[in-house]
């Protein structure tokens, strides 16, 4: 398949919807967070994708920390019993931590495809050709 045949789709629109970053139609996931081996529409192999712990890191920084701060504030301000934390803090933690994982992972995978991100490699410089006029 010709790589130039596919339009460049926004990683935000395809990733958050869990769609293939190349065609925008196929599914990116097999399960909740399990990447499919390839797109069922265009055949793009998803083996290039490695979001690692990126989604979990972003969720911990931007969702979990405020939810924990809420639970700590509730405890220190009102000395709430455990059952209050069970019906307030626990649902807030679950709702702010679990639902964003899939869209964030999809966005990171789509961004890797869009920007052609690859694993870092060491570049070895080749020796420069000698100057015809001599040194200096």
pLDDT (tens digit per residue) in 74-127: 999 999 999 999 999 999 999 999 999 999 999 999 999 999 987 777 777 777
* Residue 7, pLDDT above cutoff 70: yes
Per-residue confidence (pLDDT) for residue 119, from 0 to 100 = 77
Per-residue confidence (pLDDT) for residue 1, from 0 to 100 = 47
Q: What are 43's two structure tokens? A: 């055949």
Q: What is the pTM of this model?
A: 0.80
Read off the pLDDT band of 133 (50, 70, 90).
low
**Mean pLDDT of the 60-77 span:** 93
pLDDT (tens digit per residue) in 37-60: 999 999 999 999 989 899 999 999
Distance (Å, whole) CA 25 – CA 39:
9
Look at residues 117, 114, 102 and name the one whose alpha carbon lies nearest to residue 9. 114
Which of the two residues, 13 and 135, has the higher pLDDT score? 13
Which of the two residues, 23 and 5, has the higher pLDDT score? 23
Look at residues 16, 7, 3 and name the one whose alpha carbon lies nearest to residue 107. 16
Phi, psi of 105 (to 5 degrees): -65, -40
* Residue 2, pLDDT above cutoff 70: no
What residue spans define the domains of the chain? 3-114
């Amino acid at each position: 398949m010709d790589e130039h045949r596919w339009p460049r789709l926004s990683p935000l629109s395809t990733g958050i919807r869990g769609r293939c970053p190349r065609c925008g139609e196929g599914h990116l996931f097999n399960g909740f967070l399990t990447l499919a081996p390839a797109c069922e529409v265009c055949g793009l192999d998803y083996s290039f994708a490695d979001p690692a712990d990126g989604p979990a890191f972003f969720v911990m920084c931007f969702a979990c920390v405020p939810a924990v701060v809420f639970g700590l504030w509730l405890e220190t301000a009102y000395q709430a019993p455990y059952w209050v934390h069970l019906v307030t803090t626990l649902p807030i933690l679950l709702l702010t931590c679990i639902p964003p994982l899939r869209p964030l992972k999809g966005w990171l995978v789509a961004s890797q495809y869009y920007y052609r991100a690859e694993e870092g490699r060491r570049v070895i410089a080749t020796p420069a050709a000698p100057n015809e006029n001599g040194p200096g």
